[in-house]
Every structure is written in structure tokens, then in C-alpha cells.
Amino acid sequence: MTRLLASAALAAALAGPALAEGRLSIYHWFEYIPQELLDKFAAEHGVTVTMDTYDSNEAMLAALKAGRLGQYDVAVPADFMVQIMRDEGMLDSFTPEEVPNLVNIAPEWIDVPFDPGRRHSIPYQWGSTAFAVNRDVWQGEIDTLAIIFDPPPELSGRINVLDSQNEVLTLGSLYLGIPQCTTDRDRLRALNDMLLAAKRHWASFGSDTAKDVLVSGDAAAGMIYNGFSMKAREEGANIEYAWPKEGYVAWMDNVVLLKDAPNRENALKFMNFLLEPENAAAVTNYARYTSAVTGVEPFLDEALKSSPEVNPPADAPAGTFVEACPQEVQALYDAIWVNLKK
């Protein structure tokens, strides 16, 4: 028995975490960084990289607030979420000397409203969220959000919706022409009623499944991010990404330095690493979005230059960034989301 317990203790010690020095702990979106790039970073800097994934900004925030803060070094929130996390004091800051490659950021992405001067975050990728439609099932017009919220009979019951509060509510608001962060209860009630009526047409809620359901044909239309839609098309789905006339969500995901990061030094090295044009291009080639690093062009895939998902038509409206609403307004939006999901 003693021998058994001793060997048990030994095995536990072996399996336990190594010294924190050579590690980097990433909290990232699903399917958003190629394993080869993580391996490259691990080899260059001699660190062990571990990564957990999440499937929405809100889920990431909830997990961090429920005790995960202090376990991860970096996370990848979207624009508005950077602001929320900054306001909540969940981010650490760095100086330009600590991340020399900050100079590689394209000028228009440095003084961003959610992090002026880039003291907590670096740009990761930017893109849009709208929807894609299977052209074998539906040949008609797709330039309207009605495809998702009031679909034609061919698509009704075969629609997947992102399991992401900010994107569903913002697209819904655009469809109804409601300004963001409004406190007008009648308008919010209208949004709530519209979404509840639309839910009858939806087959499933899923973000990480959004590509697979389109490729497998389980869904004939689906709310989706532009790069993810391109990946689905490249995997053989006959789908078209839409640029709805009511507008769509534009976003920028950013790598942030988390407060109480167990491996701050490695986190900064990783952020610097991601700002190398070659590495930024590797992410873009994998995820099919757009990089905000200058000098990536020589490393990019040919297919990206002409892809309809990355290059909107001339008549498409500009994308709308999600706004971080004040807490009391956000509570109203949460109520609508709970009501929709319950």
C-alpha cells in the first residue's frame, strides 16, 4: 500500500505543472491560431504553450470573473470587450519598449477608442460578422438581414445563429434600425419581440459549430464571421457571404495582457512575436480574416486577395462596431438575451 501511494505521489508530481518560468498560458477563441505557429513560438523561446478556448466574448469574461483571472497570460477579446475589461481593471499595461514590434501596427489601428495608444492590447485580426447562405437551397437576394430574422420558407428552420449575445443583438438592432445602447424600453421591447419571433425559424445556436453546420449541410444559412465563412466555402460548401444593406458587425480582436498574468514576460514576447509580419500573416492565412500589421502582404495567400469575404462590394455599407454600454443599459440587453435563450 505504501508503495502504491508513493508511486501515486510521484506520478502526480511528474504530471503537475512545471516551473512557471518556461510557460505561456493562452485563453483564445476556438480555431483561431495555427498549431504550427504556437509550436514555432515555443521552439524560439523555449517555453511550453498551453491554450484553452472560448466561443464568445461574454463567455470569456464570465470565466475570467469567476476565478480564472490569474491563470492566463493573454486573452483575445474584441474591441468593445477590451474596453469592458479595461474598465473592470482586468488588464495589465505595458510600455512600448516592452513590445518593440508595436511600430509594425498599421497607423489607423494604434489610437483606437477602446485602447488609445495601445497600452494594454495589440491588434490580432479584424473582420466582420454577417451571415452566409447555401446557394443550392436559396438562389434569391441575400443582401438583407431578413434572411436571418424573417427568412423565406426555404430557409426557415434551417438557420444556425451564433451563440454570442453582442452579435445577435447588434445585428437585430441594425435590422430594426435601433441605435445601440438605447434605453428606450419600447424599442428594446420591439427588439425582444422580433428576436423571439425569429427564433421559431432557427435550428440551432452555435458559434464553434457555425462552419461545420454549413459544410455538412445541417444548416442552409447561418450567422457567421467572414473568415470562418471563407473557410467553410474552401471546405466545399456552396455558400455565399452576405453584405446586408442594413449593415453588419465590424470587429477587431486584440491580444490583451491580463492582470496577474503568471508569465508576464512570455506574454509580452508572444505579443511581440505576433506583430512580426510573417507571423501575423500566418494567422491571417489560417483564420482568413485581415491583419492590422504592416508588411504582411508578401506572406499572404493569393486566395485572400480576391476573396469576396474579405473584399466587400463597392455598394456595401460600412460595418458597425459593437458599443460597450453602461452597466445599467447592459443589464437590459442581458435581460433580452436571457429571454431569448430561455
Chain positions 153 to 212 lying near other proteins, rule: CB under 8 A, are: 157-158, 163-165, 185, 188-189, 192, 199, 202-206, 208-209, 211-212
Q: Which is nearer to other proteins, 72 or 243 (CB)?
A: 72
Size of the site for other proteins (CB under 8 A): 72
Q: Identify how many contiguous H helices and E strands the chain contains and give both numbers.
A: 13, 12
CB of 115 to other proteins, least distance (A): 20
Q: Which is nearer to other proteins, 59 or 178 (CB)?
A: 59
**Residues 148, 169: Cα–Cα separation, whole Å:** 12
Mark the segment that binds other proteins (CB under 8 A) among 50-58, 122-130, 145-153, 288-296: 50-58
Q: Is 258 in the site for other proteins (CB under 8 A)?
A: no
DSSP string, 251-279: EEEEEEEBTT-TTHHHHHHHHHHHTSHHH
* Interface positions, 228-247, toward other proteins (CB under 8 A): 236
Q: Is 17 in the site for other proteins (CB under 8 A)?
A: yes
Identify the CA nearest to 334 among candidates 166, 171, 174, 187. Answer: 166
CB of 52 to other proteins, least distance (A): 6
Tell which one of 47, 61, 155, 324 touches other proteins (CB under 8 A): 61
Helix axis angle, 264-274 to 35-45, nearest 10°: 120
List the grid coordinates of 195. 428576436
Which residue's entry shows cell 473568415?
Answer: 227
**Residues 121, 142: Cα–Cα separation, whole Å:** 36
DSSP string, 168-188: HHHHHHHHHTPPTT---HHHH
Q: Is 56 in the site for other proteins (CB under 8 A)?
A: yes
Mark the segment that binds other proteins (CB under 8 A) among 131-139, 145-153, 302-310, 333-341: 333-341
Q: Is 311 in the site for other proteins (CB under 8 A)?
A: no
